[in-house]
Amino acid sequence: MGDTSRILIPADIDNESIRAFVEEWAGVTEPDRVELVSAADDARLIGGALAAGELLPAGAGRYYARSHPKDTARSEERTVVATSDPADRGRYNNWQPASEVKPLITERMRGASRGKTMYVVPYLMAPPGTPLAAYAAGVELTDDRTVVLQMIRMARVGLEHFDGLTDPDFFVRGVQVTGDPDSLRHGTPEDARLFATIADERTILHYGSAYGGNALLGKIAHGLRQASYDGYTSGKFLAEQFLLLGIRDLKTGATTHVCGGFPSASGKTNLAMTLPPDALGDRYRVDFYGDDIAWMWIDDEGQLRAINPENGAFGVAKDTNEATNPTAMAAIAEGSGTIFTNTAYNQLTGDVWWEGLTPQPPVALDGWLDWTGAPIADRGPDQQGAPWAHPNSRFTIPLERVPNLAADAADPAGVVIDAIIFGGRTRDREPLIRAIDDLAVGVYDGLTLGAEATFAAEGVDGQLRYDPMSMRPFFSYSEGRYAQHWLSLLSRVRELPVFAHVNWLQRDPEDGHYLWPGYRENLRALNWLSRYRAGDAHGQPTPVGVIPTAEELDLTGLDIPAEDLDRLLRIDTKRWTEEMQHRHGHLSNLQDLPQAIWDAHHRVAETLQPLASDPASGTAR
C-alpha cells in the first residue's frame, strides 16, 4: 500500500467505516487530493469542469462531454462477477473467483490516480425511508469529475443520506479508476480494463473506463448486479432491468402500475416515457417512474411493490425526437442540467445533434464536430455517410426534469405492481400482446425473452438472441437460482400480477411495413391488459397466452387496416413450434433451472404440437 501521510482526508468524512475505506484506496491509487462531494456541489463542479474543458456549454443550463474514442460503451467481455462460491457461476455472468480478481484489479489500480483528485461520492440508490434502504447505500470513489456530475444526476448524493440508516457501516464500496486510455490496449488479448462486482463482499472495482455504463457504479454495478445478489441472498427482493410506469384512468381514478423488461432496441425507454395517444388523452394519463431499473419486494399485506432506485435517466440519444419520445425531448430542454455525451457538437453555437433527432443533419456545417471532435466540414468523399454522433451517445438528466414524473415517484413505500410485461423485437410469431396468468409460465416467458437477430449480424436470421428477463449482461448468480428466487418470492404474493408479452414491431411478410403504429398507441394494448386483469375483458385463449379480440381493443381515433389487425391478433402455430425447439436449447444452456420452469416449457410445447401438425388448423386465434 502506498504512503497516505501526504494525502489529507477531509475531516467532514466522519463515518469511521467510510473514512477507513477512503484511506485504504487512497493508499492504493495515490491521488494528489481527496474531496467529499454532495449534490449541493453540482454548480461548483460544473464550473470547474467548464474551466478545465472537461465539459462544453450546450445551450443554457446544458453541457456536452466527449469521452475517449475507445471508451464509448459498456464492455461485457471485460465485466465479471466475482465471489468465493463457484456455485454462483452462471451461463452469462462471467463468474471468476474473488481470490484471483481482487488482487489483479488492485494491482492495476496501484498509483493510477497520481496527479488527480479522488472524489468521494456517498449515495443512496432508493428513496430515503424505503424498506430496501439498507441495500441502497453506497460510496463511490472516482478520479473523474464528469463521473461525479453524472452520479449527482443519477442518484441521491450526499453523506446526509446515511443518517437515517439502521447500520451506516453497511454500504456498497465502489472504486472507479480511469487509467490511461491510450495505454489500455482496448480489444486486444492484453486489454487491461477490468470491471468487477465482488458480490459477496459488496465491493465494486472498475478499472479502465470513465464511460457512464462502466463508471457510474451506483447504476448498473450496484443497482442491478449487486442488488440482485443482495436480493437473492437476503431472500427479500428482486432487482431487475425493468421500466416502471403508471396508467391513470381519469374517469374512474384507478391507476394500473406496470413494470417489465425489454432487450435493447425493443422500445423500453419510449414506452416508459410514453404519453397517451391524442384520441385518448382526455381519458388517460401516463405517469413515469423509471426507464431502466426496478426493485420489487413483498409488503406486509402480501402485495408486490416496486420502486425505481435511480434518481435520474441515462438515455440513448439516437432516434430520440419529438415524434418518438416527446417526453424525453422536454426533459432535456435548455435549463435542465442535461449532460450530453458523444453526440455531434457545434463549437460555435453550442448545439448538439444525433442521428434521428431530425430527418437530415444540419445543412450548414460551420462549427460542427462529430463525436470524436473531428470537423464535419473536413470530411472526404469516403466519409460522407459516417455517423455524426456515436450510436451509443447519451443524455443524463435528473428525474425531476421529466414532465410526467409520477407525483409519488419518490414515495418510500413504492407502488403496487399490477402487471409484469416482457417485450422483444420480432417480425412475426409474437402477437401485439398475450396475457399469462400462471406464475411458472410467466417466469418461463421472461427467461425465454429475446430480440430477433439479423442474418448479417448473427448468421441466425429469424432466431432470437435470448436475453432472459432483459438481465443477460447483469446476472450476478446462476440462472437456475435466479428463476427459483422469482418463483419463491412471487409465490408469497396475495394477488399475483398478470404477466404479458408485447411486441410493437411485427412486420408484414411481403412489403415489410410495421403492422402496428407503436409509440403512444402502445397504451391501447396495456389498457386491454388492465381490463383483462380486472375481468372486464376476456380475450381468446391460445397455447401461449390470452390474446385480445379486435372488439376488446380500444381503437378510438386509430385507423389500422383490418388485415394488419387480424395478423397482430393471431398465433402462427407452425412458427411457434419452431421457436419452441430453439427455446429448449436455450434453457438447456442455463444452470440448474427449477423443474417448474421445465414443466411450463413442456406444457406450452405439448399444447402447440397438435395444432401445428394439423394442416387444417392454420393459425390459432
Q: How far is residue 40 CA from its own chain's centroid? A: 27
Annotated binding-site members for substrate: 74, 211-213, 264, 392-394
Asked if 367 contacts 349 with a C-beta cutoff of 8 angstroms, the reply is yes
Catalytic residues: 266
Cβ proximity of 473 and 430 under 8 Å: no
Q: What CA–CA distance (Å, rounded) separates 487 from 210?
A: 37
Long-range contacts at 505-509 (CB < 8 A, ≥ 24 apart):
505/266, 505/267, 505/425, 505/426, 505/427, 506/426, 506/427, 506/428, 506/430, 506/431, 506/432, 506/567, 506/568, 507/427, 507/428, 508/564, 508/567, 509/427, 509/428
One-letter amino acid of 148: V
Q: Which three cell numbers stand for residue 486?
A: 422469482
- The dihedral region occupied by 305, where left means phi > 0, alpha psi between -120 and 50, and beta the remainder, is beta
C-alpha to C-alpha distances, 224 to 218, 297, 573, nearest whole angstrom: 9, 15, 36
Tell me the pairing of strands 117-124 and 95-97: unpaired
Cα–Cα dist 42/183, whole Å:
31
CA 486 from centroid of its chain's CA atoms: 19
Nearest to 279 by CA among 524, 505, 608: 524
- Output the known binding site for GTP: 265-270, 394, 425, 519-522
**CA gap 4, 313 in Å, rounded:** 36
